[in-house]
């Protein structure tokens, strides 16, 4: 009888311990995901020549991260605007095109076909996409010069959208410097492509 009583008391304690452990694990997992107005998750990925490129190496500059794939029609529509933005603002903003899980020969062909001059990085196993909570393609993040994620955008951006996002980043930096706590307001974006190609 004493043994049955001890077991009856142990089950709620065990359930409580497991629940707390699950909440801690869930919180740690979510803490690593990118969020607006929080430090952007760091990463290092190879460029198309195999050289490692780290987000941290651009501290002090605004970084524009664009997740894309060559099979994604909205990505194709967005690419000329990305190139135009890079040519116009490349001295102020580091644009990183992060390809999702495609073979290098397809990425290089796409780069040549679209005349891309900004940096392309290869997320071969999708680990960076996971840290940024990728839901669809294309998706974009603007990171301020202090490494804080300031703008998140799902779907293709126009050149004007990119310029407006840069203005929001600059305003957030000025506001953070002044200590006013400005928060960017979300905006509805055009539809994006699912993460896998249609077959």
H helix intervals, 32-185: 73-89, 104-114, 127-131, 159-178
Please report the pLDDT score of residue 5 as a whole number.
61
Between the two ends of the chain, the Cα-to-Cα distance in Å is 63
Q: Rounded to the nearest 5°, which phi and psi values hold at 54? A: -110, 140
Which domains, and CATH codes, for the chain?
Answer: 44-178 (3.40.30.10)
Whole-number Å distance between alpha carbons of 174 and 71: 38
Average pLDDT, the chain: 84
Of 91, 99, 97, 81, nearest in space to 163 by CA: 81
Q: Phi, psi (5° rounding) for residue 7? A: -65, -40
Does an H or E element contain 149, and which?
strand 149-154
Digit-coded pLDDT (tens) for 84-117: 999 999 999 999 999 999 999 999 999 999 999 9
Residue 2: pLDDT band (50, 70, 90) is low
Measured CA to CA, the distance from residue 168 to residue 184 in angstroms comes to: 7
Residue 52, both tokens = 């490692």
Q: Are 134 and 67 in contact (CB under 8 A)?
A: yes
CA angle 76/82/84 to nearest 5° reads 120
How many other C-beta atoms can be found within 10 angstroms of the C-beta atom of residue 50?
8
Of 3, 182, 197, 10, nearest to 102 by C-alpha is 197
- Separation between Cα atoms, residue 106 and residue 154, nearest integer Å: 23
Contact 112, 50 (CB under 8 A): no
- Compute the distance between CA of residue 87 and CA of residue 67 in angstroms, rounded to an integer: 19
Tell me the three state secondary structure of residue 52.
Answer: strand
Give residue 19's pLDDT band: very low, low, confident or very high (50, 70, 90). Answer: very low
Pairing of strands 119-123, 93-100: parallel
Q: What is the pLDDT of residues 114-144, one digit of tens each?
A: 999 999 999 999 999 999 999 999 999 999 9
Q: What is the pTM of this model?
A: 0.78
């Amino acid at each position: 009888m004493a043994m049955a009583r001890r077991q009856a008391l142990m089950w709620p304690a065990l359930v409580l311990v497991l629940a707390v452990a699950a909440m801690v694990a869930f919180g740690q997992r979510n803490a690593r995901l990118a969020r607006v107005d929080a430090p952007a998750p760091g990463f290092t990925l190879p460029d198309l020549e195999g050289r490692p490129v780290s987000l941290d190496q651009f501290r002090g500059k605004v970084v524009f991260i664009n997740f894309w794939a060559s099979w994604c029609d909205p990505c194709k529509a967005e690419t000329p605007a990305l190139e135009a933005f890079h040519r116009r603002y490349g001295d102020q903003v580091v644009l990183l095109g992060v390809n999702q899980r495609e073979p290098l020969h397809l990425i290089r062909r796409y780069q040549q076909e679209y005349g891309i001059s900004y940096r392309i990085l290869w997320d071969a196993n999708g680990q960076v996409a996971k840290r940024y909570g990728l839901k669809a393609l294309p998706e974009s993040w603007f990171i301020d010069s202090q490494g804080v994620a300031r703008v998140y955008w799902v779907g293709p951006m126009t050149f004007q959208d990119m310029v407006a996002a840069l203005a929001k980043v600059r305003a957030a930096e000025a506001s953070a410097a002044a200590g006013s706590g400005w928060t960017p307001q979300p905006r509805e974006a055009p539809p994006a492509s699912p993460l896998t190609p249609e077959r």
